[in-house]
Structures are given as structure tokens and as C-alpha cells.
Amino acid sequence: MVQLARFPRHSLGHFPTPLERMERVEEHLRKRFPQVPNLWIKRDDCTGLATGGNKTRKLEFLVGDALERGADTLITPGAVQSNHTRQTAAAAAAVGMDCKLVLERRQVRDEDYEQSGNVLLEKILGAQIIDRLPAGADLAGAMDEIADAVERDGGNPYVIPGGGSNPVGALGYVACAEELESADIAVDWVVHTTGSCGTQAGLVAGFAAFHSRAKVLGISNRRDETAQLDAVKSLTVQTAAHLGTSDTIDDGDIRVDDRWVGGGYGVPTDEMLSAIHLLARLEGIVLDPVYTGKGFAGLLGNIAAGTFAEDENVVFLHTGGVAGLFGYRSVFDGD
């Protein structure tokens, strides 16, 4: 029996999030492909924390842990236009903590990318952007330095890893697996974008603990398949241990598709743009250019390849990120 109630948790979001049928997408795809499953979307873009997103689930457990430890300052890193840093800033504001951010320039774009979207929201939320570092910089070291400075000033820092992806944060997606297990449909697949691994690790560990039939497919937006598989497997095993279950995580439980990364993290692709336009214009649902746009492109590609059976229920997990679109305005000019 999974007992999430025994872990510190602070309510930050609106749960359970909606689970909606994508009937117009199904109709569109059935004109093109012979084998189209039942398509659903789990609306974790509707979690409610400063435009929402998947990090809210993780932050409920991370902030709960931070409060139990008496912390007064949250410190975390992320790429420029990180959804995680924006939601961490909002969580800190909601509980009366300070928030200090380190942003990594994984790519160099324009002024919109540097200052609007998530970055603008972080400033409005009162977070301090301590530094903007070049790609590949020592983010962990930078956070340690900030934590030391907070302690010297008499504060009590709590450092959150990128994406909130550690065994504590991944409990948020064990909770999501529990929601999906109690849904009115039998979920066969969950497809989502996998990056820092916490979402996929929590889902896989959760479904294993609930002895679920559901399979998880992560569409990578950064690493190649081998590297992402290793990273997800490592965190899944750690999460299962933290959860206290005896379930074995097999290599076959971790599924990653790296064909939609394109030029790298946050680098636009034609498939991503097409996926965003398709879902927006058929269902009125907006994706983001870094995570869900590439994830939905991967879902469409797997439908075209016949990965899913026609009678299966396939859930696309919308992990949020719409604020990041404003940092990519030039990509959509002329649409």
C-alpha cells in the first residue's frame, strides 16, 4: 500500500487535474493513419500556480520538506525560460519564503527570450535572479555558494535540484499516477516530455507500486535515448526506495524516444511548431516550445508508426509551460 500521506506536503495546486478526450485530434488523425488509439490529455497545465505546470506537483512535496526543516529560502537552477524556476518562485511567494535563482543560458536567442515569459514572471513574483551562467556551467557549485551566503546572513536555505527532480520531488508524480489509476478509463499509456527525469521517474515508480497496466513513454527534449534511459532508471529506483515499496523496476519499464530532440534543448523544430498549431487549432489547447510541443510531436510520430493499438487509451500529459511561448515570439511571427 502506497502511503503518500506520511510525507511532508504543502498544498499549492488544483488537484486532481482534468482528464479530457481529444476527439477532434482523433478525427483528424483517423483521416491520415489506419491505427489511431483513444486519445486523452491530462491537464497538468491547469495546476494553478503562476500559470501552472508539472513542477507544482513536485513542489508540494519539496516545499513541505523545506517547511518541516525550517527553511526560509528556496534556491534552484534552470535554463533561461525555465518553467521550474517560475513555479518555484511562485511557491516561495505563496509560503512567504525568499527565492534565489540561477539561470543557465543553454542557448542564446533574443531580448524576448532573455527578459519576457517566465523571466518576467519570476521578477513579478519577487524572486532574485542571482546569476545567468553559460551552458554547461557548474550550477550545483553556484547554488552551494548562494546557500553559504544565505547561512552567513542568518538564513536557512533549501536547495532544490533542476526540475525539482529528486526522490522527494518525484513523489508528486507518484500522486499523479494515483490520480490516473482512479480515473474513469483504464489507462494503457502515458506519453509525456522527459527532461530532468522527475516526472517520468514518479510515474513509473507510482504505476509499479499500484501494480498498474499503464506504460510510460518519455519523449526526450535534451538527451539521447541511452543517456536519458540511464538517468530515468536511476531516479526511478531512488524514488521507489524513498517511497518504501518493494517493487522491482525493470529496464523494460523505462521507455524513451529521442527522435524529437532536434538541435537540442529549447531549439525549435518544424515538428514542434506543427504540433503546437495542430492542438491549438483543433482543441483550443496551447502547448509550449521546449517541452510539450516536442512531446506532442513525439506522440503524433508514434501514432503514425503504429506504436499504440486502436483500442488503447493513450494519455498525453500536458506539463504546462505556456508562459515560455512569449520568449519565442520570433519563431511564431507570421503565423
The mean pLDDT value of the chain amounts to: 96
> What's the one-letter identity of residue 219?
I
Cβ 101 vs Cβ 127: under 8 Å? yes
Which residues are within 8 A (CB) of 229 and not within 5 positions of it... i.e. 6 or more apart? 251, 254, 256
Dmax (CA) of the chain: 64
pLDDT for residue 3: 85
Q: Residue 110 pLDDT more than 80?
A: yes
Task: Locate all alpha helices (DSSP H) within 263-309, ordered by sequence.
Answer: 270-283, 292-304
Q: Respond yes or no: is residue 234 known to be catalytic.
A: no
Using one digit for the tens of pLDDT, what is the confidence trace for 134-159?
A: 999 999 999 999 999 999 999 999 99
Using one digit for the tens of pLDDT, what is the confidence trace for 179-191?
A: 999 999 999 999 9
Neighbours of 293 (CB within 10 A): 29
Cβ 317 vs Cβ 53: under 8 Å? no
- All 3 cell numbers of residue 305? 508508426
Q: Residue 264 pLDDT more than 80?
A: yes
Q: How far apart are CA 1 and CA 189, in angstroms?
A: 22
Q: Where in the chain is the domain with CATH 3.40.50.1100?
A: 4-53+166-332, 55-164
Q: By C-alpha distance, which of 261, 331, 325, 333 is closest to 83?
A: 325
> Does the N-terminal peptide bond of residue 16 adopt cis geometry, omega within 30 degrees of 0?
yes
Q: What is the mean pLDDT of residues 32-42?
A: 98
Whether the predicted model's global pTM rises above the 0.85 cut: yes
Which CATH architecture group holds 4-53+166-332?
A: 3-Layer(aba) Sandwich (3.40)
pLDDT for residue 2: 79
- Spacing of C-alpha 332 from chain mean position: 23
pLDDT for residue 334: 66
Q: What is the mean pLDDT of residues 22-28?
A: 98
The answer to which of 129-133, 261-265, 290-294 has the lowest mean pLDDT is: 129-133
Q: How far apart are CA 101 and CA 200, in angstroms?
A: 24
Identify the three-state secondary structure at position 332: helix
Of the residues 11, 82, 165, 212, only one is catalytic, namely 82
Q: Residue 335 pLDDT more than 70?
A: no
Q: Residue 246 pLDDT more than 80?
A: no
Identify the three-state secondary structure at position 272: helix
- All 3 cell numbers of residue 311? 483500442
Q: What are phi and psi of 191, to 5 degrees?
A: -115, 130
What CATH number has the domain spanning 55-164? 3.40.50.1100
Q: Residue 1 pLDDT more than 70?
A: no
Q: Residue 83 pLDDT more than 90?
A: yes
